[in-house]
Amino acid sequence: MHDFSKLETQLKIDFKNKDLLLQAFVHRSYLNENPDLPVGHNERLEFLGDAVLELVVTEYLFRKYPEKPEGELTTWRAALVNTKMLSEVSQKLGFDDFLLLSRGETKEKGKARQFILANTIEAFIGSIYLDRGISACQKFIISNVLSELPRVIEERLFSDAKSLFQEKAQEKTGITPTYNVLKEWGPDHAKRFVIGVFLKGAMVAEGEGSSKQEAEEEAARNGLEAKGWLTKS
């Protein structure tokens, strides 16, 4: 078993209920090999933490950027709480070293590990909420997740809607989206495109732009909104 006191020291969070801290790192697969563990897996904590994370990020953006429209704030939030970003934050915090996984899951890397790490940080936030309350969650999220906002804005990570739509479509439906040109017009130097994004032949949304890439990006962003996929969960 890992020494979770090291993590408490590193993050300057002292859990009153150490079982909540432990449970945040327990993957469902670990219990198959360790049925006597005194706590359950972390999926319910993840469910709670996901909601707390979204609330804290939303309130922070709402208060800090009063001049920004809802659409822009929504894309910023999506870039902060998607699987890729949360897994990066988890790795920076060293969560990889504390995961409790089955032997099979321990060997899994790449996308599978990304999902586990992202889910674990949400479960950890859920644990903090139950143990220390909302203000401790705010402190943790502002320090470790919202600290990535300048990079999100500077690198325009929020504008990569196509990647996020593909990730969501594969996660939720198992289908890889396709894009088709619906309309194009105008002279070569000022062309306009309307492109639709499709899941198995069914159009989800369309987007318009001065290039195919721009129209696809817009279609993906509209698709995320249409499907309600603008958050990680």
The three-state secondary structure class of 178 is strand
Out of 105, 122, 131, 216, the active site residue is: 122
Q: Is 108 left (phi over 0), alpha (psi -120 to 50) or beta?
A: beta
| Residue tagged 């990570």 (tokens) | 157
Question: Which stretches within 65-109 are classed as H helix?
Answer: 70-81, 83-92, 103-107
Out of 46, 50, 105, 167, the active site residue is: 50
Query: Alpha carbon 19 to chain centroid distance?
Result: 25
- Please provide the DSSP assignment of 190-226 as one string: G-EEEEEEEETTEEEEEEEESSHHHHHHHHHHHHHHH
The verdict on whether 122 is a catalytic residue reads yes
Active site residues: 50, 122
